[in-house]
């Protein structure tokens, strides 16, 4: 009873506890970029498409709903990431269906971050309005470069002007955060000399910074097997800059972004304070997530699962539960991608192991070689090892 002698109202039910993340893979693009090995197909509306299904987008969406129905009971993610592919390449109606579906199942209070990846050439005020209404908080735009020649060589569909327009549209739509992807390490015949190549990277960084993004990702061009760039390389064409120049480009970007207030928080990622990508931080700290769609991966309850990269339907390609020590080593390496690395306590909390028990000898050796910075209570990569992190990680898994 309350002070008025009336029964106290029943308190509203507590919102379901949220944890982990949701990834949704949208496997369609307008067309394939020259370097891309992600699983995606040209949209059926594109003349390059050869889709056996009359409506592959509808078939894919039915698959997403089916897979979502099989998600663990009570799954309520704290973060959502819709990637691909190019989610914003979906036709308006299909894109709206996807947003509504995610919002109705997993939106609302407690969802701390919802990212959608977008190609600047596929954004529209209408798509952004839909995203804002659904609760999207963050747009990740694949800018890659601000040089028309580089964008053409990479096979991108957009122009530098469309990147600028896209950022302005995101801001106008009231979506709180915008991230830009940049690519470096390509070879340009027009800027083959090292100083010209570095000038081009500097120009890209400055053009990106002029747009004041909340977050920047900078990826080195990798020539993936089976891509058009791989074919060019096999034919004797130079497509990537030499590794020494790629490293200088990376160092240039790091210095440029740091000088402008962006914290280098992961090997390829930079953010204004508080604007780190929470969803990706889950991946780097051994967190749990469910992936929906072809080629999507999940990590839930200690089990890893991967889907087949197939359309119009997909199945589970593998399911595995790593032995705890192996899983902990994997978490160690993933966490070292963050420039803060691990504290010993945080690693123990995350995995139940002490990293010195797991890999004490290797850590001591790598620290002696100057590749790791180790204190009694913490461990992190030395900045000089960022660009060669794979060789360090190979010692620790
Ligand atoms: S837009 Fe992205 S996912 Fe699509 S082909 Fe280009 S790089 Fe690959």
117: domain CATH number?
A: 3.20.20.70
Does residue 244 sit within a domain?
Answer: yes
pTM for the structure as a whole: 0.93
Ligand 1, atom nearest to 35 Cα: 7
Domain-embedded: residue 372: yes
The residue whose C-alpha atom lies closest to atom 3 belonging to ligand 1 is 85
Q: Is residue 305 part of a domain?
A: no
Mean of all residue pLDDT scores within the chain? 93
CA of 67 to the centre of ligand 1 (A): 24
- Across the beta sheet with 378-381, the strand order is 342-343, 378-381, 372-375
User: Same domain, yes or no, for 161 and 65?
Assistant: yes
Q: Which domain holds residue 234?
A: 21-283
Q: Are 336 and 342 in contact (CB under 8 A)?
A: yes
Q: For ligand 1, is residue 118 a contact (CB within 6 Å)? A: no
Using alpha carbons only, what angle is made at residue 93 by residues 86 and 163, rounded to the nearest 5 degrees? 40
CA distance 60 to 28: 10
Say how many domains are in the chain. Answer: 2
Residues 353, 215: one domain?
A: no
The answer on 215 and 354 residing in a single domain is: no
Ligand 1 atom at shortest distance from the alpha carbon of 117: 2
Do 275 and 382 fall into the same domain? no
| One domain for residues 246 and 329 | no
Ligand 1 atom index nearest CA of 155: 6
In a domain, 112, yes or no: yes
| Pocket flag, ligand 1, residue 43 (CB < 6 Å) | no
Q: Indicate the angle between helix axes 355-368 and 324-335, nearest 10 degrees.
A: 40
Within-domain flag for 16: no
Ligand 1 center–CA 155 separation, angstroms? 9
CB atoms closer than 10 angstroms to residue 338: 20
83 within ligand 1 shell (Cβ under 6 A): no
Q: The tokens of 83 are what?
A: 């990637």
User: Which parts of the chain register pLDDT below 70?
Assistant: 1-16, 44-54
297, part of any domain? no
Q: What is the CATH classification number for the domain harbouring 340?
A: 1.10.10.920
Indicate which atom in ligand 1 lies nearest the CA of residue 156: 6
> Same domain for 234 and 366?
no
Choosing from 252, 283, 314, the residue where a domain stops is: 283
Here the tokens at position 229 are 């760039």
Tell the residue nearest (CA) to atom 6 of ligand 1: 33
Within a domain: residue 364? yes
pLDDT tens for residues 204-253?
A: 999 999 999 999 999 999 999 999 999 999 999 999 999 999 999 999 99
Give CA–CA dist 186/241, Å, rounded: 5
Residues 171 and 53 in one domain: yes
3-state secondary structure 224-258: CCCCHHHHHHHCCCCCECCHHHHHHHHHHHHHHHH
CA distance 117 to 221: 19
Give Cα separations from 349 to 129, 287, 316, 320, 344 (angstroms). 41, 12, 30, 23, 9
Same domain, 257 and 371: no
Alpha-carbon distance 103 to 41, whole Å?
Answer: 25
pLDDT in tens, 18-42: 999 999 999 999 999 999 999 999 9
Q: Find out whether the beta carbon of 213 lies less than 6 Å from any atom of ligand 1.
A: no
Q: How many CB atoms lie within 10 A of CB 9?
A: 7
Can you give the length of the chain in residues?
A: 397
Residue 234 lies in a domain: yes
Decide: 312 and 63 in contact? Cβ < 8 Å.
Answer: yes
Task: Choose which residue among 24, 30, 35, 38 to substitute to test ligand 1 binding: the one with the highest number of ligand atoms within 8 A of its C-beta.
Answer: 38
Q: Please indicate, yes or no, whether residues 86 and 194 belong to a single structural domain of this protein.
A: yes
Tokens 């947003």 found at: 99
Q: Are residues 238 and 373 in the same domain?
A: no
| pLDDT given at position 193 | 84
Same domain, 258 and 384: no
Q: Is 63 in the pocket of ligand 1 (CB under 6 A)?
A: no
| Domain identity same for 144 and 260 | yes
């Amino acid at each position: 009873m309350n002070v008025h002698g009336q029964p106290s109202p029943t308190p509203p039910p507590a919102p379901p506890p949220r944890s982990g993340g949701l990834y949704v893979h949208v496997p369609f693009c307008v067309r394939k970029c020259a370097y891309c090995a992600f699983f995606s197909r040209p949209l059926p509306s594109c003349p390059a498409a050869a889709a056996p299904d009359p409506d592959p987008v509808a078939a894919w969406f039915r698959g997403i709903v089916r897979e979502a129905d099989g998600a663990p009971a009570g799954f309520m993610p704290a973060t959502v990431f819709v990637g691909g592919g190019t989610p914003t390449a979906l036709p308006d109606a299909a894109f709206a269906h996807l947003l509504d579906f995610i919002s109705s199942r997993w939106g609302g209070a407690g969802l701390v971050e919802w990212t959608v990846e977008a190609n600047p050439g596929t954004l529209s005020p209408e798509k952004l309005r839909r995203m804002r209404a659904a609760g999207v908080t963050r747009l990740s735009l694949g800018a890659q470069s601000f040089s028309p020649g580089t964008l053409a060589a990479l096979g991108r569909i957009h122009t530098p002007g469309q990147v600028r327009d896209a950022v302005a549209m995101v801001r106008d739509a009231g979506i709180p955060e915008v991230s830009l992807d940049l690519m470096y390490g390509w070879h340009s015949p027009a800027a083959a000399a090292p100083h010209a190549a570095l000038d081009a990277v500097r120009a890209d960084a400055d053009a990106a910074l002029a747009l004041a993004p909340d977050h920047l990702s900078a990826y080195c061009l990798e020539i993936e097997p089976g891509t058009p760039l791989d074919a060019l390389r096999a034919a004797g064409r130079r497509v990537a800059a030499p590794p020494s120049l790629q490293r200088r480009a990376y160092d240039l970007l790091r210095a440029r972004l740091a000088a402008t207030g962006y914290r280098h928080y992961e090997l390829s990622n930079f953010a204004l304070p508080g604007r780190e990508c929470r969803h990706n931080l889950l991946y780097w700290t051994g967190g749990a997530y469910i992936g929906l769609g072809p080629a999507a991966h999940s990590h839930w309850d200690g089990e890893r699962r991967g889907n087949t990269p197939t359309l119009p339907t997909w199945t589970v390609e593998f399911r595995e539960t790593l032995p705890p020590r192996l899983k902990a080593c994997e978490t160690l390496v993933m966490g070292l991608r963050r420039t803060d690395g691990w504290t010993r306590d945080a690693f123990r909390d995350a995995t139940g192991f002490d990293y010195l028990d797991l890999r004490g000898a290797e850590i001591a050796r790598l620290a002696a070689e100057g590749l790791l910075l180790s204190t009694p209570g913490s461990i992190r990569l030395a900045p000089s090892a960022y660009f060669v992190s794979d060789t360090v990680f190979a010692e620790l898994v």
